[in-house]
Chains A and B, each alone.
Chain A
Amino acid sequence: MERIYDDALNEEIYINSYSNGLKAFVIKKKNFSKAFAGFATKYGSVDSKFVHPKTKEVVEVPDGIAHFLEHKLFEEEEGNVFDRFAKFGAMANAFTSFKETVYYFISTQNFYENFEILLDFVQNPYFTDQNVEKEKGIIGQEIRMYQDNPNWRVYFNLLNALYVNNPVKIDIAGTLESIQKITKEDLYLCYNTFYHPSNMIIVVCGDVDPKKVFDTIERMEKTKEYQSLIERIYPDEPEEVNQKKIEARLSVAVPIFYVGFKDNQNDLPPYEMIMKDIQTQIMAEMLFGKSTDFYEKLYKEGLINQNFGFEYNCEPEYSFFMIGGESKDPEEVYRRIIEHIEDVKKKGIDREEFERAKKVVLGSHLRKFDNPEKLSVEFIYSYFKGVNIFEYVKEIASVSFEMCEKRLKEFFDESLSCISIVWPAG
């Protein structure tokens, strides 16, 4: 058991590694009433093609299978696992994203009893032809619900415009057609591949005893032997964007839009990735933040409203920046964004604005530490991409004005941008 105390953050973290490759982390939160525990696998919607670690054969499975598996793992021979959690008062749930699936609970009582249930059910799949069929109805409704959600639509359409082949463009839940193809056998195959301890981590956050947490894991671990790394197959992705513009019509009052910028500088060593991430966040704050002349001007012209915002996604396989919101004239906003970037590239950035943007980015990272769920989820995301969330706060201070100048020159390239718009229907 290893202990790291971060003085500047006033945060404490305990780490333990197991012989089968599993790693566990306890982020200690003194005097919190609730505790979060997450059992996560590095397996998400983008992992539908891979080399089987034992047979060494290339396997390709239907879209939406990671998410389907997430639903099905809650099922047990005797009913479903909620029965057991209900007894000990935990709120249990799970989510699937592009690159990970996380099973978790939040409890304010009986932590260790609940923790055992979590460890147990994630390690005990129970799939039958019948319960797999039944789930297709529920997931079908989930997919339909998202189809009616304009924010989801504009987001996935943007990814479709940005990427030609990268599976990040595929809806996490798959499609109504693809989920029909999923069988019990597919689920077991994916489970046995990706739910191996060497591909998983456990994160606990709360006022718990780290030793007791680690001992419980030791006792409950089913798999003892080590598995070699899983080779995931991603298609080659061209540098350019798939299409410059993508549009849809849905029941919305005002057009919704995102402008995306494709970042081809991926697969960097962890430290460089952190630095790229922070620099981009600071740059974005300086270019488009609420205290910029740009924001004020567009707002006053009635082109954007308070919903205008941006985010940067930085992963080893794909990175992209997106900015948008609601506008009566999304294409004009797109034009202004590009014009503004060119203008700043020409004129250069301002030192005072740089310092202010840095404060904003620092504050927004510190905020994450107040919420055990969000903190743990961030921790998992970062861990699977090879970086530690605790490092971010330290590295923000080390980002220099010159680094940001350089980043601006390299990124935000008009030719690698595109727009996704959802127009009002009818």
Chain B
Amino acid sequence: MQRKEKNNNFYMAFCDDRFKINRISVTFIDRLEKEKNTLNALFPMVLIRGNNKYKDMKEINRFLDNMYGATLSIDVDKKGDLQAISFAISFLNDRFAGENLYTKALQFLHDIIYGPIKYGGGFEEDAILQEKNNLKQEIESRINDKVQYAIDRCIEIMFEGQNYALYEKGNVDDLQTITKEKLFSQYQEVITKKPMYVFVYGDYDEEWATSKALEIFGEEKRESIHNDFFVNIPFENTRYVTEEMEVNQGKIALGIRTNVDVTSEDYYKLLMLNGILGASPKSKLFENVREKASLCYYVFSRIDRFKSVMIISSGIEIENYEKALNLILQQIEDIKNGKIDDIEYESAINYYKTALMAIYDSPRDLLSFYLNQALVGQIIEPKEVFENLKNVNIEDIKRIANRFELDTVYFLKNRGVAKDGKDL
């Protein structure tokens, strides 16, 4: 691994000859705030509509096609109170392409991101208008995936009024107020002033790959932005919220404040707890809510490292709400009382070992793993994470569980009489 850090520019390169596809990713980090989250979600969509070098989408896509079907992807993500705006290209290893594609891919990505400035010009009015419409559709389409929708709503309710409640892709009302000028100025601000992470994975010499990336992307001074990992409002009572939609299956989502400093050693204890509760194949939730009580098909727990929050999610028969909720809460109680058997513990540790070691086999996963590490301010390898997990004992887990506060219970149920989404 080759790593260069200066002026809040991060460069990392990984060399490996096992893969047929290489990857370059460029991520900018901004604060997740109401005034700009929609702008930050919109500008990447406008960027891939073209600039003066690649005048439209067709030219961009022809370039990619000629790179043996390279793919360009943009992504906007929430990392605690931060918004991550990413551009990535994956392209064929030179050995199979028979030509050097790395410099071409790097330059292309730079042209896409900096094109409107470099090739003299702002954004095209039509492209903005259309991408506004596409983004509107995307935001509204959140209801299509009911599992994720219930989780998102739970977080929104839990963090009402705080930045973390904001949706990473923005909101429809703010879209209306976006002007060409506002968008361009926010775009410029992000790509020239905000922290930048350039990560490269490929069948190349690491030093050479880093120097090429540096040559093209540079390292001008950028702002530094810090994350707040905690839920910073006092806990009062558990909130119970029920909403209705036309669904066949009820979705339950629990938002738990873990009160764990995720930059401390306690994070690993929390991870183990999560494995035992609802992440591993023999987790308490899976065993007791699904296998024994036959109440659901899926049930899991998940940690958002950037905000010390745990989410539990399941899909259940609507009339089984109370039963399922009680059974889920019982599993947490059991952990609080240290009721953890060997197989549950072993399953969790083994689950993490496999999951962490598997990261090495996917350039995409590895790059995103390191980005998250960098954002938390601790760059350690997947195998080191595992080493830390091995030291966690039952007492540690029990102690962590006793810090839990159940903040929000969200339930999505059917509207009035059960409608079956009947075919017309």
Contact = CB atoms under 8 A, between A and B. Distances in A.
The interface size bin for chain A is: 35 or more
A248 B424 contact: yes
Contacts of B423: 157, 246-248
Contacts of B424: 247-249, 423
Nearest to A247: B424
A299 B137 CA distance: 14
Contact of B249 (A89, A106, A138, A141): A141
B297 A145 contact: yes
Interface string A29-62: 1111110000000000000000000000000000
B229 to A, nearest CB: 29
Interface string B226-248: 00000000000000000001111
B62 A291 contact: yes
Contacts of B18: 29-32
A300 B144 CA distance: 24
Interface string A125-140: 0000000001101111
Nearest to A139: B297
Contacts of A2: none
A302 B130 contact: yes
A362 B66 CA distance: 11
Interface in B21-36: 21
Contacts of B358: 33-34, 106, 108
B421 A366 contact: no
Contacts of A88: 350
Nearest to A371: B362
Interface in B53-109: 56-58, 61-62, 64-70, 92, 95-96
B122 interface: no
B385 interface: no
B357 A253 contact: no
B6 interface: no
B315 A89 contact: no
A33 B355 CA distance: 11
Nearest to B137: A254
A166 to B, nearest CB: 19
Contact of A109 (B57, B130, B316, B354): B354
Given A253-B140, A363-B92, A148 B361 contact: no
A83 B247 CA distance: 34
Interface string B112-127: 0000000000000010
B347 interface: yes
B346 interface: yes
A80 B291 contact: yes
Contact of B248 (A107, A147, A364): A147
A89 B356 CA distance: 12
A425 B421 contact: yes
Contact of B65 (A109, A135, A249, A291): A291
A361 B358 CA distance: 27
Nearest to B130: A302
B21 A366 contact: yes
B315 A141 contact: yes
A357 interface: yes
B144 A150 contact: yes
Nearest to B281: A82
Given A87-B343, A359-B66, A145 B249 contact: yes
A369 B354 contact: no
B392 interface: no
B347 A137 contact: no
Contacts of A106: 354, 358
A82 B394 CA distance: 21
Given A356-B65, A359-B69, A366 B20 contact: yes
B55 to A, nearest CB: 11
A364 B247 contact: no
A326 B141 contact: yes
A91 interface: yes
16 contacts: A82-B281, A85-B281, A86-B280, A86-B343, A106-B354, A109-B357, A144-B249, A251-B246, A254-B140, A290-B64, A291-B58, A306-B134, A356-B65, A356-B66, A363-B69, A370-B20
Given A91-B354, A144-B249, A251-B144, 16 more contacts: A29-B18, A33-B360, A91-B281, A106-B358, A142-B297, A144-B317, A145-B297, A148-B249, A248-B424, A249-B421, A295-B57, A296-B58, A300-B126, A360-B68, A364-B69, A366-B92
Interface of A: 10, 29-34, 80, 82-83, 85-92, 106-109, 134-135, 137-142, 144-145, 147-151, 153, 157, 246-254, 256, 289-293, 295-296, 299-300, 302, 305-306, 326, 356-357, 359-364, 366-367, 369-372, 423, 425-426
